[in-house]
Amino acid sequence: MDEKTRYSLNVSSYFVINKKSAPQKLIVSIDKQGAWGEVSYYHKLECGHIEVRKRASSAPKIACTWCVIGEEKGRELKALTIVQPPTLEEVWDFYDETTSEEVDVAKLRAGVASAVGCAQESVEVVSIVDEENILRVSYVTVFLDFETAKRIAEKNKNI
């Protein structure tokens, strides 16, 4: 969409705007555009918006409908902001509370890895902290490469 088309859109077809309550802005310049019978006057306002009218305004100020639309859309966007991000203090409090559970899970992972004889990265511990703040382990998965699995199998054959 080129600039002329963008400014010549009929604002009133999309929004209901009361021009009497719209803020009055000083006219910086008026540009006449179009051919005979289809002339439009582009009023450039101090706020940077452009008002398109069929006649040039003789008044020093005119209502800016785009400022009204911007204010309405700003209120709508502000209303959509529901969730506030947590503060840094809240984040640190959360980590302080869960540190002991994470240490317990790490100890379990290290113990399983040591018993099986594999790397700690191969052990996955799935756990939750319930309502009573008790750590509950759902299950533990050990991922083995072929060499480690073969070594474990050979070890158990000899016993």
Give 125-142 pLDDT, tens digit per residue.
998 888 887 788 899 999
Question: How would you class 24 by CB atoms within 10 Å of its CB: exposed for 0-12, middle for 13-18, buried for 19 or more?
Answer: middle
With DSSP H G I counted as helix, E B as strand and the rest as coil, what are the percentages for the chain, rounded to 5? 45, 25, 30
Contact between 109 and 143 under an 8 Å Cβ cutoff? The reply is no
**pTM, 2 dp:** 0.40
At residue 109, the pLDDT reads: 93
Rounded distance between C-alpha atoms, residue 53 and residue 30, angstroms: 10
Region of 37 (left: φ > 0; alpha: ψ -120 to 50; beta: rest) is left
Q: Name which of 13-17, 75-79, 108-112, 145-149 the model is least confident about.
A: 13-17
At residue 141, the pLDDT reads: 93
- Which residue type occupies 20? K
Rounded distance between C-alpha atoms, residue 127 and residue 113, angstroms: 17
Residue 109 CA, chain-centre distance (Å), reads 36
At residue 112, the pLDDT reads: 92
Residue for token digits 């991000």?
85
Q: Name which of 5-14, 106-115, 147-156 the model is least confident about.
A: 5-14
Residue of higher predicted confidence among 83 and 149: 149
pLDDT in tens, 74-113: 777 777 766 777 777 777 776 666 677 888 889 999 999 9
At residue 20, the pLDDT reads: 67
Residue of 54, 67, 55, 58 whose CA lies nearest to 25: 67
Rounded distance between C-alpha atoms, residue 149 and residue 132, angstroms: 38
- pLDDT of residue 5 exceeding 50, the answer is no
Domain range list for the chain: 3-80, 88-158
Three-class secondary structure of residue 83 per DSSP: coil
At residue 96, the pLDDT reads: 67
Residue for token digits 């000083």?
26
The encoded tokens of residue 74 equal 């700003």
